[in-house]
Structure 1
Amino acid sequence: MPHSGAMTTPAPAPVRPPLAAFWRDLPREGRLLLSIVVVEFVGTGLVLPFSVVYLHEVRGFALSDVGLLLGVPPLVALAITGPGGTLIDRLGARTVVIGAVVLVIASDVVLAFADTLVVAAVAMLLNGLAQGVQFPAFNAMIAAVVPSEARQRYFGLNFTLLNLGIGLGGVVGGLVVDVDRAITFQAIYLADAASFVPILLLLLGPLRAVAPRPEPHDREDGDASYRAILKAPGMRPVILLVFASAFVGYAQLNAGMPAYARVVGEVSTQGLGIAFAANTVVIVLLQLVVLQRIEGHRRTRVLVAMGVVWAFSWLLLGLSGLVPGTIGATLLVAACAAVFALGETLLQPTLPAIINDLAPDDLRGRYNALFSGAFQSASVVAPPIAGALLGADRHTTYILLLVAGSLACSYYAVARVERALPAGANGGADRAAA
């Protein structure tokens, strides 16, 4: 008989296979998709920082009109996301991705020659239509190609390559464009259009058989509605967490943070450029390290860490307001963007993996559309709230809102989302048990 006081063997540590093994084990289709991410997003980086400069300084549109033009894509995307998710499930993700890529190419070409507001508005409309289906269709296609156990790493590596491409494109674009030569801006928009040709050729050639129209399951029409999907186990709290994290996260990084840095911290535009460069560098350098560290852990616990990291980043932004117009303010804003990037490396592999582990094959488009819609909704709602608080000189209230909101995301992830997720969707020990 064994002794009653014998020591138990400790549980083994989570296995963290090297990234080389991940690449080797990845299906051929997944490797092909990853191989062109940098090329695709170099084009995006070429034009991303220069939209206002091109439309206002080169084309001569009033700033008020430029603001309206740039508001068209997110609003159109938000309106089209729901129908787009249904379209993905009916036609197949690959078919919808092809349509989105064609729309993006058309948008870039039209915008390159947009010498009137009407032509520019058409380009922005095309861009919004593409945005509305591109994200959910790409995610659905990736989930159809990449097995569940590899998706977290895939989404993380994809995010690294995406940022590398945008960073390289931004550097090249800054060297090429000249506000006194419209042709330099036309060149970068045409180059952006050309950067989407490789993915189009892949989808029409070697990947023509991936993500076809899914076989429908035996379910009533009402069971495939967005309302029914939100009632599926774990889905409603996950979507609420997506909205909240986008509200206190990306929407503020893109709108509220630059506004606070300029108005309160009195940071120069060059200082803002340094901050966004620091953000990109941290993502490129740390994402692969983070992927190794979070392997085998519950995704909700990773999201807890994300909220804490973001709370600290917003505290750094708040401190910049105590030393306005100094090098210290610039360094604090850059530190805010860099620390925020660490949180991004925790979010990007986990939330998309959770969504696609929850989704059945024939409803994957709708699940990813809900994900995209929650993200876009936050991007529409957050900037006006940030503008109202900062415009009313409620700077401390603004920072406290972001810090408290980030910590609330951490609490909600472990107190609500973790309990609601079905076994297997949360990674780590839950996946092993499932």
Structure 2
Amino acid sequence: MLLVGLAAMIAGCTLLAYATHPAVAAVSLVLMGVNFGVSWPGFNALIATVVDGEIRQQYFGINFALVNLGIGVGGIIGGFFIDVDEPATFTTIFLADAAGQLIPMALLLGPLRHVRTQGGDDDHPDDGDAMSYRAILRRPAILWLTLLTFIAMFIGYGQMEAGFPAFARQVSEVSTQVVGFSFAVNTAVIVLLQFTVLKLISGHRRTRVMQVMALVWIVSWLILGATGLVPDSIAAAIGVLAFMGVFAFGETMLQPTVPAMYNDLASDRNRGRVNAVNAAAFQGGAITGPIAAGLLLGHGWHAGYIATMVVGCVAIIALAIALERRVPATANGVPEPSTPASPSPMPTPTSEPS
């Protein structure tokens, strides 16, 4: 599935490099979207097959830091290389993107070709019905986790594309340069703090980590809301930068825990579909978040926008508390207590010879 997604990405980037009509560009973006839709559950399932236990959570965290590092480095390279007066620079970048997909493709065909992501028929004989999405969502732990993921994406990444920049420009009245620097702060905090956070959360209940993450996000949204009280000022600019830094700190807690919990709740036979449910919740929140932001900010309900984000964070805390009652301890990041060995019986005293 990953190879199919990478092939679609190569075709989409190549087509986009030479697109001279909106329809052609639309087709290329659809092909790139196919890759993103396929690669998320496929890649997470592949990771969960290779690593398990506490290492799985650590790997998801490291992967998140590396993704952000790649986004940051790619953005810097693109910013220096791209020239809007030279269309050939765009063509070169898109062709380089297409060529870059050959590296993971080579890894999948080489070192990873023997990784087996599907269990045998006898591995989980009681999972016959679990292959349907309806049966997966009927599991209380997965249902509550999916609701939590959707809300987290709705008030989180769903706002990074539209709500946050709109609020920063319209309400805080900071420059576009400040908004751009804030995304750089976000990336830097994730890359620099992810490894430290992984050590701090290791061995703790993932649901408790989610609650701390929601509290951190409440602080971040209140900071952003406060910038609206001092628009077009240095304080507003500092507040916008601080918002993204604090928000990124919360992200370092979210990204290792949620995918690890999904995969600890899955079996090899339904791992792909469980990760697809995770991806659908993520994308659903990322799609509906900007719509809600547009409606709230478009009507001038600036305080209502911040209040909605805070209420969403409170909802995450409530869902995490409910989830903790339904998820097994091992899937919640807490190893099952080992059964203490029974003490050996005392030796029967024997009379010594006189």
Question: CA deviation digits over 1:11-45, x for unaligned, max 9?
Answer: xxxxxxxxxxxxxxxxxxxxxxxxxxxxxxxxxxx
Higher Cα radius of gyration: 2
Question: CA deviation digits over 1:224-280, x for unaligned, max 9?
Answer: 211111122411111111111111111112221011111111111111111000000
Question: CA deviation digits over 1:149-191, x for unaligned, max 9?
Answer: 3100000011111111111111111111100000111111112
Structure 1 residue 402, shift from structure 2 partner = 0.4
2:267 to 355, 360, 366: 360
1:427 to 333, 336, 349: 333
Distance 1:404 1:397 in 2: 10
Structure 2, unmatched stretches of 5+, are: 340-354
TM-score under structure 1 length normalisation: 0.75
My pick for the range that moved more, 184-193 or 171-180, is 184-193
Structure 1 residue 193, shift from structure 2 partner = 1.6
Q: Is the 8 A contact 2:131 2:269 kept in 1?
A: no
Structure 1 residue 214, shift from structure 2 partner = 3.4
Structure 2 counterpart of 1:63: none
Distance 1:245 1:337 in 2: 16
2:296 to 389, 392, 395: 389
The percentage of aligned residue pairs carrying the same residue is 50
1:118 to 23, 46, 50: 23
Please state whether the residue corresponding to 1:267 is helix, strand or coil. coil
Distance 1:320 1:194 in 2: 43
My pick for the range that moved more, 251-260 or 353-362, is 251-260
Q: Is the 8 A contact 1:156 1:291 kept in 2?
A: yes
Structure 1 residue 222, shift from structure 2 partner = 4.1
1:339 to 246, 264, 267: 246
1:418 to 324, 342, 350: 324
Q: Aligned in 2, Cα 1:306/1:192: closer, same or farther, shift over 3 Å?
A: same
Q: Please tell me whether residue 237 in structure 1 is matched to residue 150 in structure 2.
A: no
TM-score under structure 2 length normalisation: 0.92
Structure 1 counterpart of 2:5: 100
Question: CA deviation digits over 1:285-308, x for unaligned, max 9?
Answer: 100000011111111110010000
Structure 1 residue 213, shift from structure 2 partner = 4.1
Distance 1:219 1:350 in 2: 27
Q: Aligned in 2, Cα 1:233/1:432: closer, same or farther, shift over 3 Å?
A: farther
Distance 1:291 1:129 in 2: 31
Q: Aligned in 2, Cα 1:350/1:417: closer, same or farther, shift over 3 Å?
A: same
Q: Aligned in 2, Cα 1:173/1:344: closer, same or farther, shift over 3 Å?
A: same
Distance 1:134 1:341 in 2: 24
Please state whether the residue corresponding to 2:239 is helix, strand or coil. helix
Q: Aligned in 2, Cα 1:212/1:228: closer, same or farther, shift over 3 Å?
A: closer
Q: Is the 8 A contact 1:233 1:422 kept in 2?
A: no
Alignment of 1:76-91 (within 5 A): none
2:196 to 264, 282, 289: 289
Question: CA deviation digits over 1:297-337, x for unaligned, max 9?
Answer: 11111001000000111011111111111222111111101
Q: Please tell me whether residue 268 in structure 1 is matched to residue 170 in structure 2.
A: no
Q: Is the 8 A contact 1:424 1:433 kept in 2?
A: no
Distance 1:402 1:239 in 2: 18
Structure 2 counterpart of 1:321: 228
